[in-house]
Amino acid sequence: MKIVGVAACTSGIAHTYIAKEKLLKAAKDLGHEIHIETQGTIGTEDELAEKDIKEADVVILAVDIAITGTERFDGKKVVKVPTSIVVKAPKQLIQKIESELNK
């Protein structure tokens, strides 16, 4: 499965980057390709490429705030969850998405 996503928390610091790292590790451990953009106090980092978005099977928005650029995901399967879910149970989240996509 190819996954893209955005991580953004209310302060734009800690949980943004923790969520990103948890998603990256969980996806790789489960054999998936993943690219996560962060939006925080220092702006956007690791911005998603149009090609990555186009090829993605799913978009994970691990966000606690409004983010910019969501129109890029029009027509895609989008899963929006708080960063706390990603921090606590990233593998379970990805496995649940995987089972939903395979229905």
Catalytically active residues are: 9
What are 58's strand-pairing partners? 3
DSSP secondary structure string for all residues of 41-52: TTEEESPPPHHH
Helix (H, G, I), strand (E, B) or coil at 75: coil
Contact 83, 62 (CB under 8 A): yes
* Alpha helices per DSSP H over 10-89: 14-29, 50-55, 83-88
